[in-house]
């Protein structure tokens, strides 16, 4: 009996997310009402409120879950395994296509991709700051943003174009964009 309940909850949440994505193509999340979302998902408002407080809170929660999942991928592939990181990242979104779509929608003019990029920059790229050659510190700042947001843009473009390449092909492509040597670090 518990398994059936779980499947119903999963199905209901998927309907709500699909409805949100559909409406977000037409208007900002701040302008979506619960009634509109419930009608599009073919659920009651009470059902919506079982899971979320508002459409804004819903999108924020979903984007935060994605950010957490990406952080886990970073932690599991830490240590210079760029291909492993990108392979896991592209597979994550390939296996969860809704999540890739959810990142493109902004909350208060900040997209999910920007949130993830800023999070990765603050938590992971800055850890190399002390190892960086002092003479080029400003260059490293730009380099960090170039790497993080360049990779996120590749991911976003791949999702928007329907993920035609395999995650493995995309991982190889992303790795090919990285410099062959870490010239920005002290030897």
Which has more pLDDT, 22 or 142?
Answer: 22
Work out the percent of the chain whose per-residue pLDDT is above 70: 84
The third-level CATH classification (topology) of the domain covering 1-52 is Arc Repressor Mutant, subunit A (1.10.10)
Mean pLDDT of all residues in 76-87: 82
Q: Residue ranges of the domains in the chain?
A: 1-52, 54-187
The 10 Å CB-count burial string (b at 16+, else e) for 90-112 is: bbbbbeeeebbbbbebbbeeebb
Q: What is the pTM of this model?
A: 0.82
∠ CA 38-44-49, nearest 5°, is 80
The C-alpha atoms of residue 143 and residue 27 are separated, in whole angstroms, by 34
CB 93 within 8 A of CB 100: yes
CB 90 within 8 A of CB 171: yes
pLDDT tens for each residue of 52-77: 999 999 999 999 999 999 989 888 88
CA distance 155 to 86: 10
The model's pLDDT over 139-160, given as tens digits with 9 standing for 90+, comes to 777 777 888 888 889 999 999 9
State whether residue 132 is helix, strand or coil.
strand
Least confident of 21-25, 145-149, 159-163, 164-168: 145-149
CA atoms within 13 Å, Cβ hemisphere of 164: 3
């Amino acid at each position: 009996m518990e398994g059936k309940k779980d499947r119903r909850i999963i199905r209901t949440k998927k309907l709500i997310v699909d409805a949100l994505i559909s409406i977000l193509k037409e208007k900002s999340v701040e302008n979506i009402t619960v009634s509109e979302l419930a009608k599009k998902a073919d659920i009651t408002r009470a059902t919506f409120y079982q899971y979320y407080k508002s459409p804004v809170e819903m999108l924020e929660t979903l984007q935060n879950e994605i950010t957490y999942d990406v952080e886990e991928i970073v932690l599991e592939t830490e240590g210079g395994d760029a291909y492993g990181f990108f392979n896991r990242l592209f597979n994550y979104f390939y296996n969860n296509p809704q999540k890739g779509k959810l990142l493109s929608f902004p909350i208060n003019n900040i997209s999910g991709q920007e949130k993830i990029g800023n999070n990765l920059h603050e938590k992971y790229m800055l850890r190399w700051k002390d190892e960086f050659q002092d003479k080029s510190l400003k260059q490293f700042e730009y380099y960090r943003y170039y790497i993080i947001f360049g990779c996120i843009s590749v991911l976003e473009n791949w999702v928007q174009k329907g993920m035609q390449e395999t995650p493995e092909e995309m991982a190889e492509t992303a790795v090919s964009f990285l410099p062959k040597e870490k010239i920005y670090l002290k030897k």
